[in-house]
């Protein structure tokens, strides 16, 4: 059994959003086109409370500076994907269907960030994605979405740690690339642990 994991294709990560990923909206047609090729489609959604500790505004820090959260280093993000806000909604053209696809919200705990679709960044709190995939007999996952160098990368790293066969489909990904070369580093990091990155 093979599943597609679509990561965080939300308005705030698309052009005009609070945490815009360049060309983030351009992944949508590709993802829509391939969804029908899989036994299961799982879609993750960043879903932060207003007081999330990763927000620069909450910690009185400069946006994109480094701070701390849950005892570890934390990028201070602009407020984004706040629960029930327009920015937290999926891109309007993404073919995300209730009853047909499985949805996993993440980042709800204000004390820890959650890049991966599987666990919080502290690796303590599972989202239930791993359990669902195992229950359904899934052994292989393809991953795409936003952003390559953050939530896609960490979802892929957790997937291979959980012993799934993992591919990342770069045509369906775009990166933040906060520092020049971040996307290339993320690709290398994934490949080094056995993830197949399909360009």
Of these residues, 14, 81, 144, 151, which one is catalytic? 151
Sign of CA dihedral 114, 116, 118, 119: negative
Catalytic residue selected from 12, 81, 106, 130: 106
Is 50 an active-site residue? no
Spatial contact of 40 and 1, defined as CB atoms under 8 Å apart: yes
Between the two ends of the chain, the Cα-to-Cα distance in Å is 23
Q: Which among 124, 130, 52, 36 is positioned nearest to 88, based on CA atoms?
A: 52
Q: What are phi and psi of 35, to 5 degrees?
A: -55, -40
- The 8-class DSSP code of residue 45 comes to E
> What's the per-residue H, E or C state across 8-29?
CCEHHHCCCCCCCCCCHHHHHH
Q: Where are the alpha helices (DSSP H) in the chain?
A: 28-34, 56-59, 129-135, 153-161, 182-192
Contact 44, 104 (CB under 8 A): yes
- Residue 136 among the catalytic residues: no
Clarify whether 106 is annotated catalytic.
Answer: yes
Residues forming the active site? 8, 106, 151
């Amino acid at each position: 059994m093979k599943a597609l994991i679509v990561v965080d294709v939300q308005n705030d990560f698309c052009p005009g959003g609070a945490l815009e990923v360049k060309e983030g909206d351009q992944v949508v047609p590709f993802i829509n086109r391939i969804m029908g090729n899989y036994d299961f489609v799982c879609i993750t959604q960043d879903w932060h409370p207003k007081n999330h500790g990763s927000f620069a505004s909450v910690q009185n820090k400069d946006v994109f500076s480094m701070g701390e959260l849950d005892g570890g280093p934390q990028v201070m993000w602009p407020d984004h994907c706040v629960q029930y806000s327009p920015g937290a909604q999926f891109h309007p053209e993404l073919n995300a269907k209730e009853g047909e696809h499985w949805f996993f919200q993440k980042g709800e705990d204000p004390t820890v960030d959650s890049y991966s679709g599987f666990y919080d960044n502290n690796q303590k709190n599972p989202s239930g994605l791993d359990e669902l995939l195992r229950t359904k007999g899934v052994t292989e996952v393809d991953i795409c979405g936003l952003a390559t160098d953050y939530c896609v990368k960490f979802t892929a790293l957790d997937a291979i740690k959980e012993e799934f066969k993992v591919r990342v489909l770069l045509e369906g990904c775009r990166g933040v690339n906060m520092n020049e070369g971040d996307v290339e580093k993320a690709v290398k990091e994934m490949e080094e642990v056995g993830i197949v990155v399909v360009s």
